[in-house]
DNA sequence: ATGCAAAATGACTATTGAGTCAATTATATT
DNA sequence: AATATAATTGACTCAATAGTCATTTTGCAT
């Protein structure tokens, strides 16, 4: 029995495998970030991990499979937290958006190598699966920005949304790049506020009629299709659906312990953010959640999603 | 005798060679843009041009030499015109900057494939010479932006210049990308004005104290070094030095024909912008300039620079 | 027409690196 | 301890491609 009153069970048998899989992902991401995708050989990655090439191929069926797994792994980690903040109905739109940018920049500090790799963009291009993945990522980002814009300014922003989305995204990307390359050091919260402020200033200039938009729906047809196809922000993964269900329930019930339950949920989100989340901690936190019968089912569902990775 | 009263001399003997060299550059740039640097083989380039691989290697000693030549060739073409507008002392700073962006976007439409290649960034990375070249290009761009900011707002902008430069550059890059990929169609003049307007809005927000900068000199030490080392905007190529000398002389003399002479100079600049400038036209225009004894020397110097390419 | 030099060719070499698989080693089970 | 099963290895194949060079073709002068 530990302090939380839980029996700590040994991590399941496949634990070792999962770890090695992650070690490979992390090693590969660092090498890709440093030398680029095509200039990093599978041999080098194997050596970096300390295993043989043959073993490497027992975890990932090809180099392409490896890079796609990297994207899937990290993208989930980075974006999930933004999504969760989006679920919080108590936060006013502007603070919410600031917080979401803040969280992204925190993520960047955690996953520097991944971001560096991503910014390089030089993944074995003209590859179908990879560019599909990149499409999907961009779709999510834009879907999120669009949501935020509408929440902030309502329908009247529609005519300017494309210009604002592209400009905001490019500013975001620039500061991300500066952080990742270590050129700039700054508090995530400060950058988050800064970006939202720029967006605000530009949006107001549009709304006051002092600026004319360049982009319009017709030009952006491709993007619209992408955003729709991905179902994008509303619900794009079972795991995030599970988060959403839990939050909805929490908000609806409005229990007296509600705020402490949210705190636990946030701590869970924090833990999953780590590159090596501790299973015991997660299990403990979920046990706490499940003590409340009203949300036990939802908690269980989320736990299954998270621990099954 | 043609309409300009000039004998048209046959294009010099190396003309054929020069053409083929340029055909190779253009073919290569298209293939690099389409499939990426490392996924395009020298064989494919040779086939694209309709020559053998051996011949290709008589023009460029290596693949690296080829990509560097591409950068040198196009960068000169794109940036030179921005520089020349910078020389025009009559234009107020804001209009000048708008015009410079406009000209860049015009250039982008001319050299789409090059820009696409450049945006991909996936040139044989960790290569010394290439990254040196990219450094130089970035240095020039930032040096130009810095100049423009100081002209527009004076010294009081200094504290915010880094944030403004990075944000402006990123917005510029975004619209460039949209143009290059054909997502957006827009008049270069409109985009130029648009970008300057965003810069203005953001700058005013800083100057009014409503926004705080994120970046400072200390963080940007590397950039400062780069910008200084390149001598950057002030004078970075013999050719541009020659332009500058000519313009200075023109402005100083203030001849009655001054404006028609400037028109001729601008027409020369237009012609050099083309992917296949006509030598005859250039020679004719220079002949017109040289009719004025006062600027004959400067014109001759510039002509030598331009025609020697 | 003849001979010569320059230009062009493409078969060839050498290297790199993705992916395979038979053989070996480690681990678990009885 | 013996056996079975799973995990790991690295030498090997095979394809791609940068760069070379002996041979052929072309263009030009006499």
- Helix H, strand E, coil C: the string for B187-237 is CHHHHHHHHHHHHHHHHHHHHCCCCCCCCCCCCCHHHHHHHHHCCCCCCCC
Q: What is the pLDDT of residue A229?
A: 56
Asked if B225 has any chain A CB less than 8 Å from its own CB, the reply is: no
Asked if the model's pLDDT at residue A1 lies above 50, the reply is no
Amino acid B278 CA to nucleotide C29 C1' distance, rounded Å:
85
* Nearest CA among A30, A44, A37 for reference residue A68: A37
The number of angstroms, rounded, from the C-alpha of A112 to the middle of its chain's C-alpha atoms is 13
One digit per residue, the tens of pLDDT, for chain B of length 309 reads: 232 222 222 222 223 335 788 899 999 999 999 888 888 999 999 999 999 999 999 999 999 989 988 988 888 787 778 888 887 777 899 999 999 999 999 888 888 888 888 887 766 555 677 777 777 778 888 888 998 999 999 999 999 999 999 999 999 999 999 998 888 889 999 999 999 999 999 999 999 999 999 999 998 887 776 666 554 444 456 676 777 777 777 777 766 777 777 777 777 776 666 555 667 777 778 778 788 887 877 787 777 777 665
Q: Looking at residues A171-175, what average pLDDT do you find?
A: 95
Largest Cα separation within chain A, whole Å, is: 66
Q: Give A281→chain B minimum CA distance, Å.
A: 36
Q: Record the pTM.
A: 0.77
Q: Is the sign of the CA dihedral A65, A67, A68, A69 positive or negative?
A: positive
Asked if A217 has any chain B CB less than 8 Å from its own CB, the reply is: no
Q: What is the pLDDT of residue A275?
A: 52
Q: What is the pLDDT of residue B108?
A: 85
| CA–CA gap between residue B38 and residue A260 (Å, rounded) | 54
Question: Could you tell me the two tokens for A238?
Answer: 């079972």
The residue among A136 and A213 whose pLDDT is bigger is A213
Q: What is the pLDDT of residue A227?
A: 66
| Residue B63 CB in 7 A reach of strand D | yes
Name the residues in A52-111 having a C-beta closer than 7 Å to nucleic acid strand C: 53-54, 57, 61-64
Amino acid A75 CA to nucleotide C23 C1' distance, rounded Å:
40
Q: What is the pLDDT of residue A278?
A: 66
Contact A191 B214 (CB under 8 A): yes
- Contacts made by residues B124-131, CB under 8 angstroms, sequence distance 24+: B124/B37, B124/B38, B124/B63, B124/B64, B124/B67, B125/A35, B125/A36, B125/A39, B125/A120, B125/A122, B126/A35, B126/A36, B126/A39, B127/B64, B129/B64, B129/B68, B130/B64, B130/B67, B130/B68, B130/B71
Contact B190 A183 (CB under 8 A): no
- Cα nearest neighbour of B117 on chain A: A122
Q: What is the pLDDT of residue B89?
A: 76
Residue A287 banded pLDDT, cuts 50, 70, 90: confident
Q: Give A33→chain B minimum CA distance, Å.
A: 11
**Protein-proximal positions, strand D, CB < 7 A:** 7-11, 16-22
DSSP line for chain A: --TTS---PPPPTTHHHHHHHHHHHHHHHHHHHHH-STTS-HHHHHHHHTS-HHHHHHH-SSHHHHHHHHHHHHHHHHHHHHHHHHH-TTS-HHHHHHHHHHHHHHHHHHTHHHHHHHHH--SS-S-HHHHHHHHHHHHHHHHHHHHHHHHHH-GGGGGGHHHHHHHHHHHHHHHHHHHHTTS----HHHHHHHHHHHHHHHHHHHHTTSS--S--TTTTHHHHHHHHHT-TTT--SHHHHHHHHHHHHHHHH--TTHHHHHHHHHHHHHHHHSSS--HHHHHHHHHHHHTSHHHHHHHHHHHHHHHT-
Residue A277 banded pLDDT, cuts 50, 70, 90: low
Q: How many CB atoms lie within 10 A of CB B132?
A: 11
Q: Looking at residues A171-176, what average pLDDT do you find?
A: 95
- CB contact set of B132 (below 8 Å; sequence gap of 6+): none
Question: Could you tell me the two tokens for B241?
Answer: 């030095």
What is the phi/psi pair of residue B235, to 5°? Answer: -170, 110
pLDDT tens profile A33-66 = 988 888 899 999 999 999 999 999 999 999 998 9
Q: Which of A16-25, A271-280, B224-233 is least confident?
A: B224-233
Q: Give A273→chain B minimum CA distance, Å.
A: 26
Amino acid B12 CA to nucleotide D28 C1' distance, rounded Å:
17
| CA–CA gap between residue A264 and residue A258 (Å, rounded) | 10
| CA–CA gap between residue B161 and residue B217 (Å, rounded) | 9
Amino acid A44 CA to nucleotide D4 C1' distance, rounded Å:
34
- CB contact set of B161 (below 8 Å; sequence gap of 6+): B146, B149, B150
Q: Is the sign of the CA dihedral B54, B56, B58, B62 positive or negative?
A: negative
Asked if B215 has any chain A CB less than 8 Å from its own CB, the reply is: yes
Question: Could you tell me the two tokens for A130?
Answer: 């990879």
Note which residues in 84-143 of chain A have CB less than 8 A from chain B.
120-122, 124-126
What is the set of domains in chain B, with CATH numbers? 73-216 (1.10.357), 232-308 (no CATH)
Question: Could you tell me the two tokens for B20?
Answer: 């083929």
Asked if the model's pLDDT at residue A188 lies above 50, the reply is yes
Asked if B218 has any chain A CB less than 8 Å from its own CB, the reply is: no
Contact A211 B197 (CB under 8 A): yes
| CA–CA gap between residue A224 and residue A264 (Å, rounded) | 37
Which residues of chain B make contact with A166, given a CB cutoff of 8 A?
A: 174-175, 178
Q: What mean pLDDT value characterizes chain A?
A: 81
Amino acid B24 CA to nucleotide D27 C1' distance, rounded Å:
23
Percentage of chain A modeled with pLDDT above 70: 83
What is the phi/psi pair of residue A210, to 5°? Answer: -85, -15
The residue of B170, B207, B208 whose CB has the most chain A CBs within 10 angstroms, and thus the best one to mutate to test that interface, is: B170
Asked if B166 has any chain A CB less than 8 Å from its own CB, the reply is: yes
| Residue A52 CB in 7 A reach of strand D | yes
Q: What is the pLDDT of residue B73?
A: 86
pLDDT tens profile A54-101 = 999 999 999 998 998 898 888 878 887 888 888 777 889 999 999 999
| Residue A58 CB in 7 A reach of strand D | yes
Q: What is the pLDDT of residue B276?
A: 56
Q: What is the pLDDT of residue A3?
A: 28
Asked if B219 has any chain A CB less than 8 Å from its own CB, the reply is: yes
Contact B191 A214 (CB under 8 A): yes
Q: What is the pLDDT of residue A42?
A: 95
Contact B183 A219 (CB under 8 A): yes
- Asked whether A201 and B211 are in contact (CB, 8 A), the reply is yes
Nearest nucleic acid nucleotide to A44, CA to C1' distance: C17
pLDDT tens profile A145-157 = 998 999 999 999 9
């Amino acid at each position: 029995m530990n302090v939380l009153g839980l029996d700590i069970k040994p991590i399941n048998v496949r634990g070792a495998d999962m770890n090695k899989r992650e070690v490979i992902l992390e090693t590969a991401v660092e090498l890709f970030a440093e030398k680029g995708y095509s200039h990093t050989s599978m041999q080098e990655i194997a050596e970096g991990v300390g295993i043989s090439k043959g073993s490497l191929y027992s975890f990932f069926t090809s180099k392409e499979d490896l890079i796609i797994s990297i994207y899937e792994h990290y993208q989930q980690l980075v974006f999930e937290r933004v999504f969760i903040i989006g679920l919080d109905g108590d936060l006013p739109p502007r603070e919410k958006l600031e917080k979401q940018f803040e969280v992204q920049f925190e993520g960047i500090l955690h996953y520097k190598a991944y971001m560096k790799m991503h910014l390089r963009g030089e993944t074995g291009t003209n590859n179908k699966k990879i560019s599909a993945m990149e499409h999907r990522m961009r779709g999510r980002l834009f879907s999120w920005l669009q949501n935020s814009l509408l929440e902030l300014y309502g329908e009247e922003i529609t005519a300017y949304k494309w210009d604002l989305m592209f400009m905001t995204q490019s500013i975001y990307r620039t500061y991300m790049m500066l952080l990742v390359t270590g050129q700039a050091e700054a508090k995530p919260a400060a950058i988050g506020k800064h970006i939202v402020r720029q967006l605000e200033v530009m949006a107001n200039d549009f709304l006051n009629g002092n600026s004319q938009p360049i982009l319009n729906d017709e030009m952006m047809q491709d993007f619209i299709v992408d955003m729709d196809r991905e179902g994008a922000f509303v619900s794009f993964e079972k795991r995030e659906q599970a988060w959403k269900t839990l939050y909805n329930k929490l908000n609806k019930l409005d229990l007296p312990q509600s705020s402490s339950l949210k705190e636990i949920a946030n701590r869970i989100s924090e833990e999953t953010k780590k590159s090596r989340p501790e299973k015991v901690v997660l299990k403990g936190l979920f046990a706490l959640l499940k003590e409340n019968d009203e949300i036990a089912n939802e908690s269980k569902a989320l736990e299954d999603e998270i621990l099954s990775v």
